[in-house]
């Protein structure tokens, strides 16, 4: 466990970040299903989750505020009961949560060969993008003197 007290004293407005660090260190992160987070470009990202055995209908993706939740629930097949000698392909329910940064939006999702790909993009509004301000000079006024 880390002591973040010095961080609290020297920062202003980063209490949310410090709170998130506290939460991460306070509980164990689930490991199923495994996933990758990739950076595809300056403002494009992709989360890839290994969801072998799940169909697209078994998976739900929900975005609420800055939270992205991916959950899966395998519907039992109405077939005859199978006796497994070894069962290495997990078919248990799962819920995986991701904290999205500000202005990151989910573009879409697709399944391909047992992998779920979730596309993300960061779109910063024009009003928040950096802009250059031109420096002007005051207008000079020339006054004519009257001859006396």
- Both 52 and 2 in one domain: the answer is no
How many domains in the chain? 2
Residue 62 lies in a domain: yes
- Both 47 and 98 in one domain: the answer is yes
Residue 106 lies in a domain: yes
Lowest mean pLDDT among 102-106, 113-117, 119-123, 128-132: 128-132
- Both 26 and 41 in one domain: the answer is no
Residue 54 lies in a domain: yes
**Per-residue pLDDT at 103:** 86
- Both 108 and 53 in one domain: the answer is yes
Residue 110 lies in a domain: yes
* Residue 137 confidence class, pLDDT cut points 50, 70, 90: confident
- Both 88 and 115 in one domain: the answer is yes
Query: Over the chain, what HEC string results?
Result: CCCCHHHHHHCCCCHHHHHHHHHHHHCCCCCCCCEEEEECCCCEEEEEEECCCCCHHHEEEEEECCEEEEEECCCCCCCCCCCCCCCCCCCCCEEEEEECCCCEEEEEEEEECCEEEEEEEECCCHHHCCCCCCCCCCCCCCCCCCCC
- Both 83 and 41 in one domain: the answer is yes
**Per-residue pLDDT at 81:** 76
Residue 114: give the domain boundaries.
34-125
**Per-residue pLDDT at 32:** 84
**Per-residue pLDDT at 60:** 95
- Both 11 and 72 in one domain: the answer is no
**Per-residue pLDDT at 124:** 81
Between residues 110 and 76, the one the model is more confident about: 110
Residue 140 lies in a domain: no
What's the CATH number where 41 sits?
Answer: 2.60.40.790
- Both 74 and 18 in one domain: the answer is no
- Predicted confidence (pLDDT) per residue in 3-35, tens digit: 655 555 555 555 566 666 666 655 566 678 899
Residue 103 lies in a domain: yes
**Per-residue pLDDT at 87:** 79
- Both 4 and 58 in one domain: the answer is no
- Predicted confidence (pLDDT) per residue in 47-92, tens digit: 999 998 889 999 999 999 889 999 999 876 666 677 878 878 777 8
């Amino acid at each position: 466990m880390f002591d973040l007290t010095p961080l609290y004293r020297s920062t202003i407005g980063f209490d949310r970040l410090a709170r998130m660090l506290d939460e991460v260190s306070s509980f164990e992160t689930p490991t199923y299903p495994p996933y990758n987070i990739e950076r595809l470009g300056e403002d494009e990202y992709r989360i890839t989750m290994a969801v072998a055995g799940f169909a697209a209908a078994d998976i739900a993706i929900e975005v609420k505020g800055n939270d992205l939740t991916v959950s899966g629930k395998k519907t039992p097949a109405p077939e005859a009961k199978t006796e497994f000698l070894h069962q290495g392909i997990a078919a248990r329910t799962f819920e995986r949560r991701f904290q999205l940064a500000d202005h990151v939006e989910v573009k879409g999702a697709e399944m391909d060969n047992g992998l779920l790909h979730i596309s993300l993009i960061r779109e910063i509004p024009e009003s928040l993008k950096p802009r250059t301000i031109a420096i002007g000079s005051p207008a000079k006024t020339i006054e004519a003197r009257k001859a006396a």
